[in-house]
Structure 1
Amino acid sequence: MSFTNFRPPVGSRPGTLAIPEGSPPPEIHLVVWSPDAAEDRRVEDLAELERPLPEGSFAWVDVRGLGDEAVLWEVSRIFGIPPLALEDAVNVPQRAKVQEHPGHLQVIARLPTLEEDGAIQTPQVCFMIGPRHLITFQERYFGFFDAVRQRLRDGLGPMRKKGPDYLAYALIDTLIDHYYPVVEALSDELTTLEEDALAADDPDTLTRIHLVRRQVAVLRRIGHPQRETIGQLARSPLPHVGDDVRTYLRDTDNHIAQIMELGDSLREIAVGLTEVFMTQVSHRTNEIMKVLTLMASIFIPLTFMAGIYGMNFEYMPELHVRYAYPLLIITMFVVGIGMLVYFRHRGWIGRRRRDR
């Protein structure tokens, strides 16, 4: 999809939504939890979202798909989401960031996913953290949060005893974990390319190296803003994020920092492989030119001798010698062999001798 498809027309008023082309209609799932239980269901009627929560309970509203503007505006109205916040949630892609809004803390996150053809996609997830609810907007259903949802249903860990801020942390941490398979896949590809670059016998190797460099650039482009965002969540006092949750977020901050360091290393390796491949190609070209030059050097004196006796002068004493022809052939053969021996002694052909 073109990047321009996700932007409203020039001159549009702030808060104008530009629904992503091909986006599926919203499918809303609601999880209501308390320390004792968790109920997970699909929302069939938006009026369900307006029902008051039981005392001591929290709600997670997961919006999957952005294809119906009316539904999105209704969700915004029910939870009091400002138009500018909804615009950032819907008009993808946005840069990863943290933004305070009345009644909500908005967190924009992006993550890399590997497609079957090796391309990297960077879907966006928007978190709206409120005092008793968490709203997530996904471009489409990716299954990123299934494990966290299962933990919440099963009551594993402290998740049920915590509020929306802890759930937001768990979901963000899950998104960051999705960086690792991408980094590992790129690292494996670079390992394969290292062998191919040293061999330098496949012209497609350079194309593959450039493809990996582009993928690493995408990873770093979305990862560095993500690192800033998580660092801000972990270190800055923000509404709707407790001090205990910031402790967990600092661990996530360490993870994204490690990932970005790996991304920087992958970039350096990819650049180095390009240089290695070009050096190997240049070396191979030089070897070919050396062989051709040596062959020409051998035939220069032979051609000179053949040229002399190929001239049409009438008085050439050697022309009347009975064994002149075999003597010339033997001489040319000896000269050729002598030059080969000399070239080998100099290390220009065969095993290169060490300079003393």
Structure 2
Amino acid sequence: MVNHVASFADQGFEWTDLVDPSLEELNDLARKYKLHPALVKDCLQPDHLPKYERMDNYSFIIFRIHTDNNVAEADTVQLLTHKIAIFYGEKFLLTIHRREHEFIKPLMDLACAGKCESSRELLNALISACLNTYEAPLAKLAKSVDYFEEIVFLRPKKVPLLKGLYYLKRKIDLLKRMLILSFEIIDAIDSTEGDVNTRDIRDQYVKFQNMFDSLAENIHQLLAIYFSASSQKTNEIMRVLTILSVFFMPLTFIVGIYGMNFDVMPELHWKIGYPGVMGLMVVVTVSIYFWFKRKGWL
């Protein structure tokens, strides 16, 4: 679908928004604005990473925005983000994406109302809106990190903790990588000194990047603490089992001696043989107990 939002006669620049365009529609616009075929091909790749390319008369931008996908186990670029391709020139702006996005509609209203004086001002607003798609998931991820942090430190481990931490780590690392790859776009837009609008976009980018860095560091620490706590718990179990085995080893030794089936053995015909051996086993057990107690192992 091709939507001609702004015209040169009314706004001083053209804005054409394409939603899931056909190859024919893309080729028509490519001929009209003299777009490079390789860049047009990039628009059709759903998993293309963020990029910025400067041509003679226009710039090409691929920005990945956060999707509203609520799948808990989403951990790939296509599940967590959507691609929006932008061709930007002094007199025109093309936006290409496969599905409708709510954040674009207010920008269309601004452009139709004549509140964007140039294509550059519209591009600033568009990139800012793309960055804002990361704000809500950032808050959600921060809340999830707090939840797992509480489980690791305070609650019994009765939830699938490791699986949840894995997918949370994947989401944070992937979204952080999308922002890092978008730095060239932000840097190219904010190349003019004294431009307040582009400086706000850079500040917004730096804020989100710092928040993702903090979340990534927290989740890595939680994983390290989880494995450390699991190792400590395993060691505690092994310590208890070792202590129990030490109690039973001498008892098994005594029982093994008196369980041998030889005709000529001392003590076999003693009337006090059985209670004597039982008493010996009690004495050995109590002795081991007090020895452990004295060493501080119990």
TM-score category (smaller protein): 0.7 to 0.9
Count of residues paired in the alignment? 291
Q: Does 1:166 align with 2:140?
A: no
Contact 1:127 1:135 in 2 (8 A): yes
Unaligned runs of 5+ in 1: 1-26, 33-51, 238-242, 350-356
Who is 1:73 aligned against?
27
**Equivalent residue in structure 2 for 1:116, among 67, 70, 86:** 70
Kindly state the Cα deviation for residue 302 of structure 1 after the two structures are TM-superposed.
1.9
The 3-state SS of whatever aligns with 2:93 is strand
Greater RCO, 1 or 2 (C-alpha within 8 Å, sep 6+):
2
Residue correspondence of structure 1 range 48-127 to structure 2 within 5 A: 53-54=8-9, 57-66=12-21, 68-118=22-72, 119=74, 120-127=79-86
Q: Is the 8 A contact 2:11 2:117 kept in 1?
A: no
The RMSD of aligned alpha carbons is 2.8
Q: 1:258 is matched by which residue type in structure 2?
A: K
Name whichever structure is richer in helix by fraction. 2
Match of 1:265 among 214, 217, 221: 214
Letter in 1 for 2:181: P
CA deviation digits over 1:43-100, x for unaligned, max 9? xxxxxxxxx742654432111113x111111122333434343233333443423323
The CA distance in 2 between the partners of 1:296 and 1:282, in whole Å, is: 21
TM-score scaled by structure 2?
Answer: 0.84
Kindly state the Cα deviation for residue 328 of structure 1 after the two structures are TM-superposed: 3.1
CA separation of 1:177 and 1:161: change in aligned 2, threshold 3 A: closer
Hey, what does 2:5 align to over in structure 1?
31
Identity %: 23
Distance in 2, matches of 1:263 and 1:55, equals 41
Structure 1 residue 197, shift from structure 2 partner: 4.2
Amino acid in structure 1 at the alignment position of 2:51: K
Which runs of structure 2 are paired with 1:1-356 in the superposition (5 Å)? 27-32=1-6, 53-54=8-9, 57-66=12-21, 68-118=22-72, 119=74, 120-152=79-111, 160=115, 162-197=117-152, 201=157, 204-235=160-191, 237=192, 246-311=195-260, 312=262, 314=264, 316-317=266-267, 319-320=269-270, 322-349=271-298
AA in 2 matched with 1:254: D
> What TM-score, normalized to structure 1?
0.71
Unaligned regions of 5+ residues in structure 2, if any?
none
Q: 1:86 to 1:326 in 2, by over 3 A?
A: same
Query: What is the rounded CA distance, in whole Å, between the counterparts of 2:142 and 2:133 in structure 1?
Result: 15
Of the structure 1 ranges 69-78 and 168-177, higher mean CA displacement relative to structure 2 is found in 69-78
Distance 1:150 1:54 in 2: 17
Deviations 1:214-269 (A, max 9, x none): 2223212221121222022102x5xxxxx66x421122112212222222233333
- Partner SS for 1:135: strand
